A and B are shown apart, each in its own frame.
Chain A
Amino acid sequence: MTKDAILKISNLTVSLPSRAERPYAVEDVSFEVFPGEILCIVGESGSGKSMSSNAVMGLLPKPQVYISQGEILFEGQDLAQISDREMQKIRGSKIGMIFQEPMTALNPVMKVSKQLEEVFKSHHLKLSRKQIKAKIIEMLDDVGLPDPKIIGNSFPFELSGGQRQRVMIAMALALEPTILIADEPTTALDVTTQAQILKLIAALQQKRDMGVIFITHDFGVVAEIADRVIVMQFGKIVEQGSADQILNRPKHPYTRKLISTVPHLGAQKKAPVTSDVVVTVKGLNKTYGDASTGWFKKAGRVVHASKDVNLEIRKGETLGLVGESGSGKSTVGRCIIRLHSSDSGEVLFDGEDILKLTNAQMMPMRKQIQMIFQDPYASLNPRRKIGDIITEGPTIHGIPKAESWKRAEELLEIVGLDKVALKRYPHEFSGGQRQRIGIARALAMDPKLLIADEAVSALDVSVQAQVLKLLDDIKNKMDLAMLFVTHDLRVAAQVCDKIAVMKLGEIVEYGNTYDVFHNPQHAYTKSLLDAVPGKQWKVPDLSGV
């Protein structure tokens, strides 16, 4: 690091409007970015990590949120002071940025090549039409897109998530900026795509000797690409240092806490569960879409979301259903609980095929199978009190209000919330608390099988660890069978007894967690494991220190 810093931020403070929960989004933050390095800013949601990069780009939602103090030195200019117009010139040409959601960051009604052209035009470069065209092809080629001509002629919706993110990167790098700011660029992508994009960013950064500010919440990603790391909490930098230092010898208690909650990738060898089988799935098929045509409808595309799926879960056992988006893992969970109808197959629950039951016959079965949902914000009815939400199920099944209310109080205690919560509305709780409420709601029915559909994916890593622990405790205490649907292999390795890997509606590998992780048989499982970010990094054991 002998070169001079290209970006120097000192004592940056960003103020929030007076009604916000804290006065500053970013408080007294100072750091530098050097050419040719990747600086990772890590933190949980609300830590101010995105706000600091938005301040650099002049993208703060003014006038409510503004820079109240400090300077951002870039090429001798203080970006905190310059006008919007001057900022416009720097944005894109000298500092590039890529965002989390590639679908919304691209204009959906504009062809890719047109959008790239815009970049050149908006910065008034004196290039001929031909030069621009050649440049666009070169750029698309640079970011590893096959057939740049065809891609350039497509609309964003015709591209996959990974391709879109590549286009975004091409756009951000079009004018060869000296700094690239990447705000959670891989969070919305599947693991295998994420691995490719991370590789691409690292390669481009080396080739062009750029400084990269990479914002993420994922320590695996940090381990994969960071040179230096900044850890933020409540708008302040709590620790910064080299990647090796932060990842393996963290000093600040908050960093230590964060790293200790990262699930280990290596699965522990567990004794196989031999208790009674609770649910058996045999030859489950489910297709979406309809190829037939009718008077008013055209033929649709048929997608096999579940193709001849066979599963078995025992009492006290957790089966992990892992796969990338579109693999049909959620569909299988929803078919078992009959939220979706299935085309064919059997789901034997205590020996009875519940797919054949009528709605009335299904009623007593409903109590036995319960689900925990992914998005803690959409899974609780915003207009009902927590007490009503938790007691809804028992009420439907004819349990007197007083009794179910009392049970709800006990359940809240089990999931670690105070019973006054019963009289509040969902919006008064944080994501983690809401997920606990969701768990209490599922438990109110005394189920035998719990289906957790990406139950911890939307949570911050430290909250995630708590909820995972809670789920595990509950499973052991109540001797539940659990189907754990997830895309996160680290989480799966931590909690599951058995793993089923799904790809395009089919189970390609099914076995004990330890075997699947240490001796994968199917090529797809291998590629999934290979793509987990930061797999070389052995999470240090910080317990008991």
Chain B
Amino acid sequence: MSMQSPNSKSEKIQSALMAVLSGFWYEFKQNRGALYGLIFVTILAFVAIFADLVAPFSPIEQYRDFLKLPPIWVEGGNWDFILGTDALGRDQLSRIIHGSRYSFYIGFIVIFFCLTIGIFLGLVAAFNKGYVDTFIMRLMDIILAFPSLLMALALVAILGPSLENAMIAIAVVYIPHFVRLTRAQALSELGKDYVSSSKTMGASSARLMFINVLPNCMAPLIVQATMSFSSAILDAAALGFLGMGAQPPTPEWGTMLADSRQYITSDPWLMGIPGLFILVTVLSINLIGDGLRDALDPKMKSNK
């Protein structure tokens, strides 16, 4: 078997992977909400990637002849600007489409930082019971003691308002959740005999952490990552709305809300449309998270 050509080996691994994936897909499909969420997010992701081709106009170009044009289903709508224009005459649809890019960008960057740092700190805490563990966990407790948005606001105030700094602030606020989850999972796995067995073989801490324990902790972490993805979008929008996130004229959804705040009574769709997109996107991702949990966590499955 050791003589096997690398080709057939990778093929076999592929077929095994396919089997695992199809089983996972079967479980995931059982949850209708998750399926719809996935469809919406897929479309949105497609639109975000090809925003330059899909969007009818540039998101920052101002059409001074068409200020505050309502969407087409409201009287006075114009088919050129399907979702209307904002106070400066920019096409809302194009801004929404380009804004979706920022939402995904925020989500992915925040989750990337949370996962890498959170998993690392969580594993270090779990493997070094004593002072290291106490230090890491109490630090996380301190971060958790602040209301998350307030903490993010304070961090942005220190770093200066920009989309990048907002993402860093949000990541810092979310990291404790990942550290705690990783640590709790790792601790329960550490008590199992397969870890003892590796220890008796003389496995190093790094090997125990990343090869033996981490893969067994991933399922809840993936679910947590999905849920945090949507919260990150929401928090970034909130920071944008408060003027602490993306700066104009960036077509970020939260910033769009902030820009049109003064028209909330006269032209409600100016705030309504970006607000609706934030809502549906966050909801869809949360539904996907639910579906993932059902599919990945065997304990939740049993009572169905």
Contacts and interface: CB of A to CB of B under 8 A. Distances in A.
A396 B202 contact: yes
Given A339-B200, A441-B197, A378 B192 contact: yes
A375 B202 contact: no
19 contacts: A334-B196, A362-B202, A366-B201, A367-B202, A373-B197, A379-B194, A379-B196, A379-B197, A381-B198, A382-B216, A384-B211, A384-B212, A392-B198, A392-B203, A393-B201, A396-B204, A401-B2, A402-B2, A422-B1
A101 interface: no
Given A369-B200, A397-B202, A375 B2 contact: no
A423 B194 CA distance: 18
A380 interface: yes
Contacts of A362: 202
Interface string B147-166: 00000000000000000000
Interface in B171-224: 192-194, 196-204, 207, 211-212, 215-216
Contacts of A396: 201-204, 207
A374 interface: yes
Contact of A379 (B16, B193, B199, B201): B193
B12 interface: yes
A366 B202 CA distance: 6
A384 B195 CA distance: 12
Given A363-B202, A406-B2, A445-B201, A383 B196 contact: no
**Cβ-closest 8 pairs across A and B:** A393-B201, A379-B193, A402-B2, A366-B202, A373-B193, A383-B215, A381-B194, A378-B192
Contacts of B192: 378-379
B199 A339 contact: yes
Contacts of A419: 1
A484 interface: no
Nearest to B214: A383
Contacts of A375: 193
A391 to B, nearest CB: 10
A370 interface: yes
Nearest to A438: B197
Interface in A334-364: 334, 337, 339, 362-363
A517 interface: no
Interface string A440-472: 010001000000000000000000000000000
B2 A405 contact: yes
Contacts of A380: 194
A409 B2 CA distance: 10
Contacts of A145: none
How many chain A residues sit at the interface, stated as a range, is: 35 or more
A98 interface: no
Nearest to A422: B1
Contacts of A197: none
Contacts of A371: 196-197, 200
Nearest to A385: B16
Interface of A: 334, 337, 339, 362-363, 366-367, 369-371, 373-375, 378-384, 389, 392-393, 396-397, 401-402, 405-406, 409, 419, 422-423, 438, 441, 445
A375 B192 CA distance: 9
Contacts, number: 67
Contacts of A409: 1
Nearest to B302: A61
Given A373-B196, A441-B197, A381 B203 contact: no
Interface residues of B, number: 21
Contacts of B198: 381, 392
A59 to B, nearest CB: 16
B178 to A, nearest CB: 20
B86 to A, nearest CB: 51
Contacts of B207: 396
A379 B201 CA distance: 13
Contact of A392 (B2, B16, B201): B201
Contacts of B201: 366, 392-393, 396-397, 445
B26 to A, nearest CB: 11
Q: Which of A369, A371, A401, A422 has the most CB of B within 10 A?
A: A371
A393 B199 CA distance: 9
Interface string B7-45: 000001000100000000000000000000000000000
B13 to A, nearest CB: 9
Given A405-B2, A422-B1, A374 B193 contact: yes
A419 B200 CA distance: 25
Nearest to A403: B2
Nearest to A405: B2
Nearest to A453: B193
A401 B193 CA distance: 24
Contacts of B12: 423
B1 A405 contact: yes
B29 to A, nearest CB: 16
Nearest to B2: A402
Q: Which of B16, B193, B203 has the most CB of A within 10 A?
A: B193
Contacts of B194: 378-381, 389
A440 to B, nearest CB: 12
A373 B203 CA distance: 17
Q: Which of B12, B201, B212 has the most CB of A within 10 A?
A: B201
B195 to A, nearest CB: 8
Contacts of B203: 392, 396
A396 B203 CA distance: 6
Contacts of B204: 396
A380 B216 CA distance: 12
Q: Which of B192, B197, B211, B215 has the most CB of A within 10 A?
A: B197
A383 to B, nearest CB: 4
Contacts of B2: 401-402, 405-406
A487 B194 CA distance: 22
A94 B33 CA distance: 46
Contacts of A392: 198, 201, 203
Contacts of B197: 371, 373, 379, 438, 441
Contacts of B211: 384
Nearest to B303: A61
A505 B198 CA distance: 27
Given A373-B193, A401-B2, 11 more contacts: A334-B196, A366-B202, A371-B196, A373-B196, A375-B193, A379-B192, A379-B197, A383-B216, A396-B202, A397-B202, A423-B12
A370 B212 contact: no
B132 to A, nearest CB: 15
Interface string B213-246: 0011000000000000000000000000000000
A34 to B, nearest CB: 38
A52 B154 CA distance: 64
A329 to B, nearest CB: 16
A509 to B, nearest CB: 29
A339 B203 CA distance: 12
A339 B202 CA distance: 10
Nearest to A397: B202
Nearest to A451: B200
A397 B198 CA distance: 12
Contacts of A378: 192-194
Nearest to B202: A366
A339 B196 CA distance: 7
Nearest to B216: A383
